[in-house]
Amino acid sequence: MYALVDINNFYVSCERIFNPTLRNRPVVVLSNNDGCVISRSNEAKKAGIPMGAPTFKYKEKFQELGIQVFSSNYALYGDMSNRVYRILQNYTLNLEVYSIDECFLNLHDFSRHSLGAYGKKIRQEILQKTLLPTCVGIAPTKALAKVANHIAKKFPELKGVYLIDTDEKRLKALKWLNIEDVWGIGRQMSKKLKANGVHKASQFIELPDEYIRKQFSVVGLRLKKELEGISVLGLEEIQTKKHIATTRSFDTTYTDKEYIKERITTFAVTCAQKLRKQKSTCQVVTVFIYTNRFNEKQDQYSRSINVSMPYPTNSDIELAKCAQKGLDLIFKQGYHYKKAGVIVGGIAPEHGKQFVLFEEEPVKHRTLMQTIDRLNSKYGTQKLKLASQALDKTWKMNQEHLSPNYTTKWNEILEIR
């Protein structure tokens, strides 16, 4: 059996912990640079605020409906997520962090327990120790645990926990679940299935194996087996990322190449730091720049380019040099740029990288990067930078509605009057 523990409206719930006046009021949390809505309270959902709503279009509606708006406070959300994870580790060591607000638990050795009661105990402890509301879905497979969790959310009378432990419950759940709400079925797959008369999860599992495999590959077939109650997806171990990206939308548009160049350099350095943190190297750097596609009065331009490294590296110096080369090749004067980014690929373990016969990264770079990481860790990030970065500035996202970092900064700890 598997359990899926999912924190309800996670970002909004984190904001409510430290500001009780937000309870029972409509609240939304915005994405990077306050671009669009990425988390909504139930009250905001009822008020008709859609997920992904652009902030500039809904600004007046937020004020009209009295909706409380917050910028994403990732330091707070990450810390609260870690607290929940530490609680769940006390229930089983076999777990998978699926996302910042979801976690799968392997309960195969818990046959002596009442699993419904066990789910309630988990939910109650998380609520008691973090004040975060959760739902727990328990079922024989991961896909069915997702279904059970969905049911626990939709029906308040279940008090946040639902157990699928019989075939009767499984079939009833699949007859109720819309095909677009099935875990792993995306928009295109859902559209294709509906065109063939498949609107419920129960209809999906009635399709022949051969048809599903031909139309949706082995991934679709595995999903069918999971919904049939046959466990084929185990818990996944934490793996190193195959791509690492650092991208940002600017606070306004820029035409100055030197400004864009500094941003690209900083993005490349951030990617290099992430590579070193997971003890990896990369061999391909992708650079992209976009104009503001929402501004129809301005000429539009977007371009990306892949630049291959001569050898695997995680050096700030080498990645910045490569990213700047990419920008030089795609930058065009006269356009108003709104977004840029750097993505690194060809990622491999640092200790197992392929050596090149005629070119190799200078050994001194590795020692230098270790020193930079150590000093930045001791004295604060961005204390040591490359000369091509803005030395007198610490770049920040546009976060007009940012709440304090209650749990990670002493000077922002909650004050009680």
Please, which pLDDT band fits residue 381 given cuts at 50, 70 and 90?
A: low
Average pLDDT of the residues in 265-291: 90
Q: How many CB atoms lie within 10 A of CB 395?
A: 13
> Which region among 136-150, 162-176, 206-220 has the lowest average model confidence (pLDDT)?
206-220
Please, which pLDDT band fits residue 145 given cuts at 50, 70 and 90?
A: very high
pLDDT above 50 for 358: no
So what's the pLDDT on residue 362?
64
pLDDT above 50 for 142: yes
Tokens representing 226 are 């999971």
Average pLDDT of the residues in 205-209: 93
So what's the pLDDT on residue 247?
86
Give the residue, 380 or 261, on which the prediction is more confident.
Answer: 261
pLDDT tens-digit series, residues 76-119: 998 999 899 999 988 887 888 888 899 999 988 776 678 999 99
So what's the pLDDT on residue 219?
87
Domains defined along the chain, listed by start: 1-140+154-163 (3.30.70.270), 166-238 (1.10.150.20), 244-379 (3.30.1490.100)
Give the residue, 221 or 234, on which the prediction is more confident.
Answer: 221
Please, which pLDDT band fits residue 126 given cuts at 50, 70 and 90?
A: very high
So what's the pLDDT on residue 289?
94
pLDDT tens-digit series, residues 12-31: 999 999 998 999 999 999 98
Average pLDDT of the residues in 55-62: 91
pLDDT above 60 for 73: yes
Average pLDDT, the chain: 87
> Percent of the chain beyond pLDDT 90?
54
pLDDT above 50 for 357: no
pLDDT tens-digit series, residues 215-228: 888 989 999 999 99
So what's the pLDDT on residue 312?
87
pLDDT tens-digit series, residues 305-351: 999 888 888 888 899 999 999 999 999 999 999 999 999 988 888 77
